[in-house]
Amino acid sequence: MEAKSYKDTVNLPKTKFDMRANAVKREPELQQFWADREIYDRLSENNPGDLFVLHDGPPYANGQLHIGHALNKILKDFINRYQILRGKKVRYVPGWDCHGLPIELKVLQNMKSDDRLNLTPIELRRKASAFAQQTMEQQRESFQRYGVWGDWKHPYLTLKPEYEAAQIGVFGQMVLKGYIYRGFKPVHWSPSSKTALAEAELEYPEGHTSRSIYVGFHVKKLSKSLQTKLKRYMPSLWAAIWTTTPWTIPANLAIAVNPELTYAVVEPPANSHIAQQFMLVAVDAVDRLSATFNTELKILATFKGKELEGCIYKHPLFDRESPIVAGGDYITADSGTGLVHTAPGHGQEDFIVGKRCGLPVLTPVDENGNFTAEAGQFAGLNVLGNGNAAVIDALAEANCLIKEESYAHSYPYDWRTKKPTIFRATEQWFASVEGFRDEALKAIADVNWIPAQGENRITAMVGDRSDWCISRQRTWGVPIPVFYDEETNEPLLNEETIAHVQGIFAERGSDAWWELSIDELLPESYRNNGRTYRKGTDTMDVWFDSGSSWAAVAKGRSELNYPADIYLEGSDQHRGWFQSSLLTSVATNGVAPYKTVLTHGFVLDEKGRKMSKSEGNVVDPAVVIKEYGADVLRLWVSSVDYSADVPLGKNILKQQSDVYRKIRNTAKFLLGNLHDFDPAKDAVACEELPELDRYMLHRMGEVFAEVQDAFESFQFSRFFQTVQNFCTVDLSNFYLDIAKDRLYISATDTRRRRSCQTVIAIAVENLARAIAPVLCHMAEDIWQYLPYPTPYKSVFEAGWVQIDASWHNPELAARWQYLRQVRGEVNKVLEKARIEKAIGSSLEAKVLLYVPDVEKREQLQALNPSSEELVDYVRSQNSVIELAAEEKAKAAQDRQEEQAAKVAKVLTENTVYVEAETIAEKGDRSSKIVEYSAPELSASDSGPILDRAAEFVANLPEYAGNFFTEYQQALVTLGLLASVLVTGRVTLAILDTMNQIPVLGGLFEVIGILFTIWFAFRHLLFAANRQEIAEQIDFLIADVVGRSTALVLAETKAIVLAPALDTALVLVETQPIAQTAPAEKVFVETPQIPQAELVAIEPKPEIPAEIAAGHDSTMTGNGVDELRYLFITSEVELVESNAIMQELPYSYQSPELAIGVVKADGEKCDRCWNYSTHVGESIEHPLICERCVSAVDGKF
């Protein structure tokens, strides 16, 4: 009879969706798919929702991208992709900041020194422009590889003519409103760059140490209010000051005090190292100064600071006298002496105080940071080097140096050259923030700041900031469009001149400022008016460039909007782009250029340290993508709390890769189990789904609502946690773990399976939609491998997650949440039993439950239908069964008689019918059956050995033929072993002979090794092969020695054995069983049975197919909402008492619940691996359980 196979009845997952992302190849393919179909362009144009604009802060086009760039651009892409999925018309225009010193320096560094000397401004600008655009192209390619969507074909560059013209327009409006002026005042000056710097162009590295000094200024004249009180201390009275910039002492023009502080005259001991007999200091600083000077300072007199105003002192190094003046709240007793050295040419507060007091602005330092002739003996010395030391030495020589010490503090450095800056008064162009400060503060309050502390930060900065120095003494930038009268040096800057220059820039770009003549740049009305003009040489601060982007892009492009919906940059941009954009927008339009501002922190290494090449802890995004793909990098961005500084390193990336694989593996399982599902034809209505499936829909509603809220509130780490938990806990560890039984075992088109597939289809589609903003490549990959047709070619065309309000069912959710808790406790007990090898898998277990609470017990009982329901139903159909049994018994008897005739020489009257055992193991249980006749043996046969030997010899050819047929593989294997031994011996002899020929000897040695490896791999390595050989040998031995050890599976389930001393082997044709693995034979020892006890055991009647198949409700509840499936065990029994649990080695007890685990009853089903007492009841399918019998017939 032809063998029967069950392997095709099991519905295993099928999908071409690869578990391995193969991101290096697959991600660019998906990006090309988006580009070819213009997915972004079409959706941004045709989506039905409102316009959404995230305005891009331009990165600097001067080098390779770092991990901070990746963090920034990927965060932006999360927002844009989410808004696209929500149906918005998303317009994202990437931009680049292309002007400024860093690019200029890059160009100069790549040139020879002689070429640099001969370089004209226009040549330098052209080289800088080419460098910036080349860098932009490289960065654009990298950003696109991150998976970032945008209008990459039409980015904005600050060097483009239309941009520069818009920037001049913003400048012109500020001029007309009176906010732009030229003034001589201190600015941050970079000697290394030879230009003024804005606050945003500074950085404050750790580890800076200055030489700080305490200096005595000799008081020459007292104020009127102190002449009486302090007269006794004259002429030995000194004003003590402290400074961290000794080089500014030559520019000192005043000493400032806080009018509200209390000051004192103090006296050091006579034997002190301090030369000054009496000193003026703040009272609250006396104790600290005593410790600093390492001497006791005695207070002799006290008075308010305002009384010091009007005192006159002499400069310690120059023959000039200066006043003590009232300063401001910046003067405290917390540091220094409470008296502040004031040089109006070298400090903001100093300048303000000096201006109020009518002091001149002295700046004896040139653009290189060297002292000028105004510094007298120090002329030519560098203020940050030998000039600083020379001043200290001169003070010591003049006996005015009280103390010197090193002082570690925050100090401004040029962000480009990484070298210290100085304050230096120069002629510059400024934007008067004071003129619109209140408007700016009001605009700040109208913006949504995320995180909220960003509002406090920028409010404080704008509230306290000084006027904005917008001019730079460099070539590569947008020129300030000002002309100067050659005779008066007065600037020419008005609406007409600005508009004329703006028109030229719009057509030719800002290079025209250097290419065209004065007459061409001036409006016609100024060309022949009798005056001579020259062009200004200053360019604008690059923060004015980028700060005008709202005008050039958001407002300037018709497809965008102003104010933009959102700005997103690093937290350092509160003093940079956020602020410059705010100031220019408020100054010209009275509103902020953004509605929402989102800030992120910086990327640190895994130990929280700043990344640096010297430390070797830099993470290059290009390297990350090459190893892991862009999606893993994007997943990391979603996992961190970006509002603070975020860590990244190899271990973190490995963890993210593991999470990525888990999500992908979940998607692969979902897709694999939909290979034969079409929602249009096979979906089950929500109200018809089992409870478990309806609970999962409710849970999906909760999960995807949480994901949506995470994106709406920009809390992407909540997305990460929610999706990870959903895939791992809700799906993999719970729903899909339970669902495998009905997905694999149930008949293809049964309601039990289709309902699960309905939920899985909803899950995989919504999972793809939900992860699309973050894991954009994986989401698209999932969508492309959906095994059924959808109306959408891309997941992004499909839109956001689809949640039906009817899924919401809190009552059902509460019930199943309790069941999941019970399941969790059951799993702990099962796991303990598994660890201690009491069971192999949970299917080998029977779970005992005791629940004292009546309501909860009834809830559990409702999900635990009796396993005997099918049997009861069968018994109710006795007449049908008896008829079937009689017919089956008669057919069995007929076959038995026919078989008996074939082996008449073997069978005697000592025949017993023994029911064959069934072994429920995974794999093929079919056997190749042949007829074999052995010598006639009986219990009473005691003939001479010689006669029996002769008979054996006579029949030897027949025996040999039958042996070879039955044990062919075993004989071949034994022969192969012998051949190997012989071949090996011969080979060794040959090799020994040929040992003198190295090449041939080595060749044969290699062949011998390879053959040995092959033989071990083929026949000895795997346990199954070793067992097969052993069993075949056992068969052969058993047959030769006449052991009665054979299990023969007969269609009638009746086996004929001869229980004499030498029992014969009877082989009859068996009913084929699942052919999913190599054939196996199982031997059992058959005891000798006395003739008087021989009894025929009748075969069990087969249950009719229509009864065995049954219906879901008849056999096992609805086949889904049951405890046995929930726990993934073969049986669950609710017991009346927890007493039995106390005797079990594997149990759990609490006041609310008791759990016990024992071995499952029955035999193991060869198809589903569950244990059942009904395995073997089907004559047609003797090795599978009642569920699988029904499933094979398409009814379960």
pLDDT at 415: 84
Residue 875 has a pLDDT of 36
Quick check: 343 and 252 in contact, CB under 8 A? yes
Contact 182, 557 (CB under 8 A): no
> Average model confidence (pLDDT) for the chain?
84
pLDDT at 1083 over 80: no
Q: Return the CATH fold of 209-409.
A: Isoleucyl-tRNA Synthetase; domain 2 (3.90.740)
What's the average model confidence in pLDDT over 764-786? 98
pLDDT level of residue 926 (50, 70, 90 thresholds): very low
Cα separation, 5 vs 926, in Å, equals 9
Residue 1030, pLDDT score: 54
pLDDT of residue 109: 85
Other CB atoms within 10 A of residue 50 CB: 12
Confidence of residue 270 (pLDDT cuts 50, 70, 90): confident
Residue 956: predicted pLDDT: 57
Cα angle: 837, vertex 842, 848; to 5 degrees: 100
Could you give the C-alpha distances from 1094 to 31, 908, 1097, in angstroms and in order?
79, 12, 10
- Interhelix angle 1023-1041/968-993, nearest 10 degrees: 110
**Residue range 580-586: average pLDDT?**
98
- The rounded percent of the chain whose pLDDT value lies above 70 is 79
Residues 1118, 1121, 1124, 1128, Cα dihedral to 10°: 120
pLDDT class of 974 with cuts at 50, 70, 90: low
- Cα separation of 278 and 367, whole Å? 40
On the CB side of 97, CA atoms within 13 Å amount to 21
Closest CA to 23 of 788, 716, 780, 606: 780
Per-residue pLDDT averaged across 491-513, rounded? 97
C-beta of residue 239 within 8 angstroms of C-beta of residue 313: yes
Q: Which token pair is 196?
A: 């003024």
Q: With 60 as the cut, is the pLDDT of residue 213 above it?
A: yes
Strand partners, 949: none
Is the confidence at residue 547, as pLDDT, over 50?
yes
What's CA 1023's distance to the chain center, in Å? Answer: 42
> Distance of CA 1145 to CAs 383, 829, 1066, Å?
84, 10, 45
What is the architecture of the domain spanning 23-164+560-639?
Answer: 3-Layer(aba) Sandwich (3.40)
- 606: nearest Cα among 646, 571, 637: 646
Task: Give just the sign of the alpha carbon dihedral 891, 892, 895, 901.
Answer: negative
d(CA 440, CA 438): 5
Rounded to 5 degrees, what are φ and ψ at 1072? Answer: -60, 145
pLDDT tens-digit map of 216-256: 999 999 999 999 999 999 999 999 999 999 999 999 999 99
Q: Any idea where the domains of the chain sit in the sequence? A: 23-164+560-639, 209-409, 817-877+1104-1192, 879-1093
Token output for 886:
């009689």
CA distance 530 to 245: 49
Torsion of CA 689, 693, 699, 701, to 10 degrees: -40
The answer to whether residues 40 and 46 touch, using CB atoms and an 8 Å cutoff, is no
Give the residue with greater pLDDT, 810 vs 985: 810
> What is the distance between the alpha carbons of residues 775 and 767, in angstroms, rounded to a whole number?
11
Which pLDDT score is estimated for 899? 43
Specify whether the CB–CB gap between 37 and 536 falls below 8 A: no
**CA 842 to CA 830: how far, in whole Å?**
6
A 10 A CB-CB count for 660 gives 22
682-697, pLDDT tens digit by residue? 999 999 999 999 999 9
First to last CA, the chain: 27
Task: Give the position of tokens 């005997």.
Answer: 868
Return d(Cα 444, Cα 451) in angstroms, integer. 14
In sequence order, what are the beta bridge partners of 703? none
The pLDDT of residue 530 is: 81
Cα distance between residue 492 and residue 482, in whole Å: 6
Look up the pTM and report it. 0.74
Of the pLDDT bands very low, low, confident and very high (cuts 50, 70, 90), residue 562 is very high
Query: Look-up: residue for tokens 């149906």?
Result: 87
Q: Are 447 and 594 in contact (CB under 8 A)?
A: yes
Structure tokens at 462: 């704008």
Q: Among 104-108, 777-781, 1012-1016, 1118-1122, which range has the highest average pLDDT?
A: 777-781
CB-CB contact of 96 with 143 (8 Å): no
Instruction: Say which DSSP state 60 is in.
Output: B
pLDDT tens track for 49-75: 999 999 999 999 998 999 999 999 999
Residue 634 tokens, joined = 């994007």
Q: Quick check: 30 pLDDT over 80?
A: yes
Helices 621-628 and 121-145, axial angle in degrees (round to 10) = 30
459/1078: higher pLDDT: 459
For residue 933, what pLDDT is reported? 32
Residue type, 520: E
What is the predicted pLDDT for the residue at 432? 94
Residue pair 284/333 in contact by the 8 Å Cβ criterion:
yes
What digits encode the pLDDT tens for the residues 724-773? 999 999 999 999 999 999 999 999 999 999 999 999 999 999 999 999 99
Nearest partner of 196 among 101, 60, 89, judged by Cα: 101
Is there a binding annotation on residue 569?
yes
Residue-wise pLDDT for 342-357, tens only, equals 999 999 899 989 989 9
| 1150 burial type by CB count under 10 A (0-12 exposed, 13-18 middle, 19+ buried) | exposed
Establish whether 1165 is an annotated binding residue: yes
Which is higher by pLDDT, 240 or 108? 240
pLDDT at 1076: 34
Q: What is the pLDDT of residue 988?
A: 62
Is there a cis peptide before residue 451, judged by omega within 30 degrees of 0?
A: yes
Helices 161-176, 577-589: axis angle to 10 degrees equals 60
Amino acid identity for residue 680 in this structure = A
CATH for the stretch 817-877+1104-1192? 3.30.2320.20
Reference 279, options 214, 185, 202, 188; nearest CA is 214
817-877+1104-1192 matches 23-164+560-639 in CATH topology? no
